[in-house]
Copies of this chain bind each other. A is one copy, B any other.
Amino acid sequence: MQKNIHLKKEKILTGDRATGPLHLGHLVGSLQQRVLLQEQYDQTVLVADLQGLTDNGHNPQKVSSNILNVVADYLAVGINPSKTTICLQSAIPALSELTMYYSNLVSISRLERNPTVKNEIKSKEFGRSIPAGFLTYPISQAADITAFKATLVPVGEDQLPMLEQTNEIVRRLNHIAQREVLVECKALLSKVSRLPSADGKSKMSKSMGNTIMLGSSAKDISRSVKSMYTDPNHLCVNDSGQVEGNVVFTYLDAFHPDAEYVQSLKEHYQRGGLGDGATKKILEECLQEMLRPIRERREHYLSDKTELIAILKQGTDKARDESEAVLEDVKRAFGLNLF
């Protein structure tokens, strides 16, 4: 290994809370990117069940029932377990152990100032009853990132404070150890803007039923596209229609393989003469064609959970070994490596 150090690929850590099956928003927001990244980078994808519990402590079934759904989603879109380490957070003890060490290096008031957490606490209406695990999850996330010595973390702008928190912990620990035990990470900023829900009103959400899932049936896809928000003032086919805020065109932009064709459709729609029925039909065909093989692969994987579990276990075993090595070094830095 040491000899080939100049060939060593840069390490990426990414993942998803296991609180629901993944949807089209994940596909454009992260999954497609991961399929590309695995060709160039040493990528670890974490199924974050423990993080999923931080706001579902009283409803753990929401998390446990979705772990294999998420893994099947990964495999179905082309995340390749021989190129990407797919692993399960709760089955990697070093992540919890590192969290314990790091939690002594972060103050409660620092956590309360974290803008990402602040917004989430607001939107979840926890009030005074924020679970300790929720307020402190940036520490657990720092454990996830550093446990694999990840230097690149694909995130949206809203997640930048999490990486800042991670790097603060890294610097603090290295300062205590007087050597570089952990490495700082950088954001790999996503260029894709968030995909709106089909009703155009809200952010796409696993739980709000306004979302096309990767495993949605052909019928559900059809129904979702038919109910999609377009231009409310586009009453007659011959009227001039608006493309901005028209969810059908947003989705065509995101998913149709032929950008020139989509551009010509937009112009046609704007000058009048192209009906919403027609644009929806084009979008539906495109989505059906894209999602059919994904759905089929997904169903194939979910039909044999033994194989799915074996794939997850193999990645998890690798992740355990990697993270144990980092934990050992952190314990050595703290002088806690008696045996």
Chain A residues engaging chain B, CB cutoff 8 angstroms? 49-50, 53-58, 60-61, 63-65, 67-68, 88, 90-91, 93-94, 96-97, 99-101, 103-109, 111, 128-136, 139-140, 172, 176, 309, 312-313, 316, 331, 333-336, 338-339
Contact = CB atoms under 8 A, between A and B. Distances in A.
Given A63-B336, A91-B339, A129 B109 contact: yes
A104 B133 contact: yes
Contact of A99 (B100, B108, B338): B100
A64 B96 contact: no
Contacts of A339: 91, 309, 312-313, 316
A132 B130 CA distance: 14
Contact of A107 (B50, B130, B313): B130
- The winner among A109, A139, A334 for most chain B CB atoms within 10 A is A334
A322 to B, nearest CB: 16
Contact of A128 (B97, B107, B309): B107
A331 B90 contact: yes
State the number of copies, please: 2
Given A60-B335, A61-B335, A339-B313, A97 B108 contact: no
Contact of A132 (B58, B107, B338): B107
Nearest to A105: B57
Nearest to A126: B107
5 contacts: A61-B335, A103-B136, A107-B129, A108-B108, A108-B131
Contact of A50 (B93, B100, B172): B100
Given A64-B335, A67-B338, A339-B309, A131 B109 contact: no
Contact of A65 (B63, B132, B333, B335): B335
Contact of A336 (B60, B133, B333): B60
A172 B131 CA distance: 13
A63 B337 CA distance: 12
A324 to B, nearest CB: 10
Given A49-B336, A335-B60, A336-B64, A133 B103 contact: yes
Contact of A140 (B100, B140, B334, B336): B100
Nearest to A129: B107
Contacts of A108: 108, 130-132, 135
Contacts of A53: 101, 104, 334
A106 B132 CA distance: 6
A50 B100 CA distance: 8
Contacts of A172: 58
Nearest to A98: B96
A64 B334 contact: yes
A309 to B, nearest CB: 6
4 A-B pairs with the lowest CB-CB distances in the bound complex, closest first: A64-B335, A57-B104, A103-B133, A93-B93
A67 B131 CA distance: 32
Contacts of A135: 108, 132
A182 to B, nearest CB: 15
A309 B313 CA distance: 33
